[in-house]
Structure 1
Amino acid sequence: MPLVLSVGVAIAQVCVDSESAPMPDPRYVPIQNGTVYDQRTGLMWKQCPEGVAGIGCAVGELQAFKLDEAKRRAREWRFAGYADWRLPNQDELRSLLQRRCYGVDIDSVTFPRTPAGPFWTSDPATYYPDSAWTLDFGRGHLGYGTTRDAFYVRLVRDAEACSPARPATCLPYSERRLEPHDGPVLAPEDDAD
Structure 2
Amino acid sequence: MKRLFWLLLSTLAGHTLTVYAQTCDYEHTPADTPDSRYQINRDGTVTDFRTNLVWQNCPAGLSGKDCLQGKATGMNWQQALLYAEEQRGKKLAGYNDWRLPTIKELRTLSNRQCNYPAVNIHAFPNTPSYWYWSISPVISDGAYAWGIASDYGYDSWSNKLNKGLVRLVRTVR
Band of TM-score, shorter chain: 0.7 to 0.9
Indicate how the Cα distance of structure 1 residues 120 and 6 shifts in structure 2: closer, same or farther if over 3 A, else same. Answer: closer
Deviations 1:36-78, CA, capped at 9 Å, x for gaps? 0000000000000111001100110011111111001112203
Q: CA RMSD in A?
A: 2.1
Deviations 1:86-135, CA, capped at 9 Å, x for gaps? 00011111001111112211001210121112100011101122321011
TM alignment of 1:1-193, pairs within 5 A? 9-18=18-27, 19-21=29-31, 25-77=35-87, 78-160=91-173
Indicate how the Cα distance of structure 1 residues 97 and 84 shifts in structure 2: closer, same or farther if over 3 A, else same. Answer: same
8 A contact 1:76–1:83 mirrored in 2: no
Q: Aligned equivalents of 2:165 and 2:114: distance in 1?
A: 20
Q: Aligned equivalents of 1:103 and 1:137: distance in 2?
A: 7
Deviates more, 1:131-140 or 1:42-51: 131-140
Q: TM-score, normalised by structure 2?
A: 0.83
Q: Aligned letter for 1:49?
A: P
8 A contact 1:7–1:62 mirrored in 2: no
Shift of 1:9: 4.1
Q: Aligned equivalents of 2:54 and 2:33: distance in 1?
A: 18
8 A contact 2:37–2:49 mirrored in 1: yes
Q: Aligned equivalents of 1:142 and 1:66: distance in 2?
A: 17
Q: Aligned equivalents of 1:6 and 1:138: distance in 2?
A: 12
Q: Aligned equivalents of 2:41 and 2:153: distance in 1?
A: 26
Identity over aligned pairs, percent? 34
Q: Aligned equivalents of 1:34 and 1:140: distance in 2?
A: 22
Structure 1: gaps of 5 or more residues: 161-193
- 1:175 alignment partner in structure 2: none
Q: Aligned letter for 2:166?
A: V
Deviates more, 1:76-85 or 1:15-24: 15-24
Indicate how the Cα distance of structure 1 residues 27 and 146 shifts in structure 2: closer, same or farther if over 3 A, else same. Answer: same
8 A contact 2:17–2:129 mirrored in 1: no
8 A contact 1:53–1:60 mirrored in 2: yes
8 A contact 2:24–2:114 mirrored in 1: yes
Q: TM-score, normalised by structure 1?
A: 0.75
Q: Aligned equivalents of 1:84 and 1:54: distance in 2?
A: 21
SS, match of residue 143 in structure 1: strand
Q: Aligned letter for 2:69?
A: V
Structure showing greater radius of gyration is 1
Indicate how the Cα distance of structure 1 residues 127 and 31 shifts in structure 2: closer, same or farther if over 3 A, else same. Answer: same
Work out the number of aligned pairs and report it: 156
